[in-house]
Amino acid sequence: MAGILVAEPPRTPDVLFDMSIRTRWRIGFDRWIGRVLPLLFLVAVLPVLDLVYYTSARALPTLTFQVLTSTSLTQTDTLGVPIISTAEIMAFSTLLAVAFGIFGGVATAEFLSERAAGYVRMTANLLVGLPSVTLGYFGYFTFVLYFGWGLSFIAAVFTLAFFMTPYIFRTADLAFTSVPRHIREAAFGSGAGPQQYILRVATPIAFPQVLNGIFLAMAIGIGETAPIVLTTTLSTTLPNTLYSPVSFLTALIWENYSQPAGSPLVDLAFQAAFLLIVVVIALNVVVRLISRRFEKRLEGLYQ
């Protein structure tokens, strides 16, 4: 009957002993996990630091300003052409990936039905989990062979953009979905249309997370090899048309690292690897600084 309190049956010594064991185990786990986690962090970070040190020790003694800037057609042991070509490929690939990724993120967060958005998110998660060599072969069969673009600049750009898009999409989708509900209702209650809400209200709030996704995609994309080596071929000159072959730093490492010991091309591979490490670290530092700045501006919004 309602309002009648049922007395809890007395706990037997066995039950109390069981609870005592679980409590002691939890306390012990909480105490030791604080000591184990720093050790696990060291286990993970020490090989990375060793790799950075080894690469730096091999690259820095021979890395000069001339090696970084020379674009001479008669020199194959310089990085001027690969650096510029890598920057061009990354610029165009990022523009395409940002356009497709943000468009898809806004669509799934605001316009598509839950069922359709679920299928799109599942597809994006599948693409993120695929090995890069699989996407490289997709670019080869689609852009190089089917479209007839050949091993070219444009084939590399579209393949790398296709590789980067899911990362930006996932971040954009999460960012626009995470905009507080009361802000969305206030915007529509004030007479704002869907476009006004997205451009003037949701985008400034979601921008820090979207920016994180863009920089993450750039950091991952610039370190990829398979999508590039399968869709273009190394060139000693800068691309002058969309269908020209083009150099890329990771492809340069792939091509030259297996050269005979003592060859200047091996040193070139280490120099390219060192530059990639510096670029990836710089991208992570920049995105952290920008994110902190916007987090301060949006502080208290989600409370």
Classify residue 262: in a domain, yes or no: yes
Is the pLDDT confidence value at 247 over 50? yes
**Res. 77: pLDDT tops 60:** yes
pTM listed for this prediction: 0.80
The structural domain count of the chain equals: 1
The pLDDT of 143-171, averaged and rounded, is 93
Q: Residue 249 domain-assigned?
A: yes
Which structure tokens are listed for 1? 């009957």
Find tokens 């501006």 and name the residue: 297
Tokens of 147: 């479209």
pLDDT at 170: 92
Nearest to 220 by CA among 271, 171, 290: 171
- Give the pLDDT score at 264: 76
pLDDT higher at 239 or 264: 239
Task: Among 85-94, 142-151, 194-203, name the one with the lowest average pLDDT.
Answer: 194-203
Could you tell me which residue, 43 or 5, shows the higher pLDDT? 43
Q: How many Cα atoms sit within 13 Å of 195 on the Cβ side? A: 0
Distances (CA, A) of 268 to 43, 45, 79, 204: 30, 26, 8, 43
37 found inside a domain: no
Is 268 exposed, middle or buried, given 0-12, 13-18 or 19+ CB atoms closer than 10 A? buried
CATH number for 135: 1.10.3720.10
Question: Which domain does 234 fall in, by range?
Answer: 66-297
Residues 152, 245 contacting (CB under 8 angstroms): yes
Examine residue 253 and state whether it is found in any structural domain, yes or no: yes
Taking every pair of Cα atoms in the chain, the longest distance, rounded to a whole number of angstroms, is: 95
Residue 99 lies in a domain: yes
- pLDDT score at 168: 93
Q: Identify the CA nearest to 202 among candidates 284, 139, 109.
A: 109
* Cα–chain center distance at 7: 57
| CB 228, CB 251: distance < 8 Å | yes
Domain membership flag for residue 52? no
- Specify the pLDDT at position 223: 86
207 domain-assigned: yes
Q: Is residue 1 predicted with pLDDT exceeding 50?
A: no
Instruction: Please state, in angstroms and rounded to a whole number, the distance separating the CA atoms of residues 298 and 256.
Output: 48
- Please determine, for residue 11, whether its predicted confidence score (pLDDT) is greater than 70: no
pLDDT, tens digit, for every residue of 94-153? 999 999 999 999 999 888 888 898 899 999 988 888 888 999 999 999 999 999 999 999
Question: Is residue 107 assigned to a domain?
Answer: yes
